[in-house]
Structure 1
Amino acid sequence: MANVKWTVDPAHSEVQFKVKHLMITTVTGYFSSFNAEVETDGEDFTKASSIVFTADVDSVSTNNEQRDTHLRSEEFFDVSNHGQIKFVGNKYEETESGFAKLHGDLNIRGVSKPVTVNVEHHGIVVDPYGQTKAGFTIDGKINRKEFGLTWDAVTEAGNVVVSDEIRLHAEIQLVRQG
C-alpha cells in the first residue's frame, strides 16, 4: 500500500485538559490552536509511520483570563521560551478491548517524557464533500510536575490548590490528504 497523509480538521476537533482545583472541583482548559499530522500505510492506523501533534501554548483557555495569563507565565507553561507542546507517537497498538494504545514522547516546557494514551478509533467515512475522514477519542493522564509545571500553593487549611494529575482528552477528526 501507499503512504497516506492525514491532517487534523480543526473545525471538528478539540483538545482539552482537566485539573482538580482545591481538590473539590475540576477546571477544564482548551487549546484552540493545534495541529496533527499522521502518515499511515493505506488507511491502517496501526501501521502509522508518523504521528505528530502540536498545540500552541499561547492558545490555552480556561474561560478565565487571569488564570490563562498565569498559565502562560514562567510559573507554568513559560510561553515566551516554550511556545508549543509536542507529542510524537512511536507505536499505535490495538488491544483486545477494541481500544488502542498510542505510545510516544510528550514535550512540555522542553521536558520530554514517554506517555501512553488510550485511543478509540470511531472509523473512517467519506463526508458529503468527498473528503475521507477518520475520527478518534483520545484520553490519558500525566503528572504535571514531571514536565516542569511545578508551581504549587496550599490554602491555610492545608488543601492543595492545583492537583499534580492532569487528565487529557481530545476529539480528533483527521482528513485524508491527496
Structure 2
Amino acid sequence: MNPNTKKPLKVGLVGFGKSAQLLHAPLIEHNRSLELSYIVQRHSDRARRYYPKTEIVRSFEELLETDVDVVVLLTPNPTSAESARRALQAGKHVVLEPPFSLSESDAENLVLAGTRLEKVVSVFQHRRWDGDFQTVKKLLQSGRLGEVREFESRLDTQRSLPKTTWIEENLPGTSALNELGTHLIDQALVLF
C-alpha cells in the first residue's frame, strides 16, 4: 500500500515474457497492496488478452512518464542496471530479476541511488519460495538434521528447445551462473 494514500501501489512490468506471465503478473494481481497498472510491450498486444484493465505502453520512457510507483524490470541483464538507475531518477521504486547487477560497482551505485532518493531497489529472489527449498529450510531450522557439514543443491533448465528469448542469447549476464547460479547462491546464503 502507498502509505500516503492508503491505495495499492501502481506497478509497471517492463516486458511480458515467461517471468512476467508466470510469476510477476499473477503475484501482483493477487496482492491487494499492489495494482498491475502498466505493462511495457513494444510490438504485441498479447498482455492485453490476459490483463484487459492494464494499460499497455510501448516504451520504457513512456512508462517513466506515468504515475507508476514500482517498476519491475524483466529485461536483458546487460541493460538492467542502467534502466534501474533511470527509473530511480524518475522517482520510482525498482524490482529487478536476478542477477541484481552484472558488477559490484553497478550494485553499489544502485543501492546508493535508492538510499539517496529514498526509493526501494530490490531483487526478486523467487526461488526462495520453491517447495523444496522451503522444506530444506524448515528441516535445518528444526535441528532435525543435526550439524550440516556439506550441502549440495542444483537447479535444472530445459535447453533442448530452440533459443527464442534474450535469456538464451550469448550476452553478458545470460550464462547458467547468472540465470540459475544466482538462485543457488542466494539459497545457500539464506540457509547458512
| TM range, smaller chain | under 0.3
Q: Which has the higher contact order (CA 8 A, sep 6+)?
A: 1
TM-score computed with the length of structure 1 as normaliser = 0.21
TM-score (norm 2): 0.20
Between Structure 1 and Structure 2, the one with more helix by share is: 2
